[in-house]
Amino acid sequence: MQLKEKFLVMFSMLILLFIVVVPIVFASSPFVIGEEKAGGYQYTVIKEQNSFTWKIGHQGNISTIVENMDNKEDLEHFRTAVEDVNMDIFEIILSASYFLIVVITTLIFYKKTKQIPKSSGAIIAILAGIAVYYTIENSINLNTALQDAKFYYSMLTS
């Protein structure tokens, strides 16, 4: 055999080894399937063999919990609450930004024209009202999600 053929055979065997061995190693290794942080709460879900291990935390205090039939539902509620906190924070930022855009646009328009026509003022008031409404609604939802996260965290760690 020539050197080139030997190299090709060795390279093929190496590739075959990776194709066979690597999936077996990854199948038996634990890996993270979910992770989230929001409002001081956090969770990480790790899949190991046939079980799930959860690392839940609040302000740096981390607890490790193995999922079982008794705590599965509470862990899912905690996960949902943390995800809701994250989403509500995003929605508050979005609706507050919308309010700021309406206010800045109104101020620019007022500086250029030195007046706001009644029809435009009504539209601006409606747009600002919608922004304030969604900001308040999302703040209430955020408070509820934080209370839920607190409840399920204390339930799971006590």
Q: What is the pLDDT of residues 70-124, one digit of tens each?
A: 999 999 999 999 999 999 999 999 999 999 998 998 888 888 888 877 777 888 8
Q: What is the mean pLDDT of residues 11-24?
A: 66
φ/ψ of 55, rounded to 5, equals: -110, 110
Chain segment 27-85, per-residue pLDDT in tens = 455 677 888 999 999 999 998 888 889 999 998 889 999 999 999 999 999 999 999 99
d(CA 85, CA 143): 8
Query: Which pLDDT does position 114 carry in this prediction?
Result: 80
d(CA 62, CA 114): 57
Amino acid at 86: N
Query: Which pLDDT does position 137 carry in this prediction?
Result: 95
Other Cβ atoms less than 10 A from the Cβ of 88: the count is 22
Please tell me whether the overall predicted TM-score, pTM, comes out greater than 0.75 for this model: no
Q: Pick from 77, 80, 44, 46: which is nearest to 62 by CA?
A: 44
158: exposed, middle or buried (Cβ count in 10 Å: 0-12, 13-18, 19+) = exposed
Q: Is the pLDDT of residue 26 over 90?
A: no
For 142, residues 6+ apart whose C-beta sits below 8 A from its C-beta are 39, 85, 88, 89, 92
Q: Which residue has the tokens 């839940």?
A: 56
Q: Is the pLDDT of residue 19 over 80?
A: no
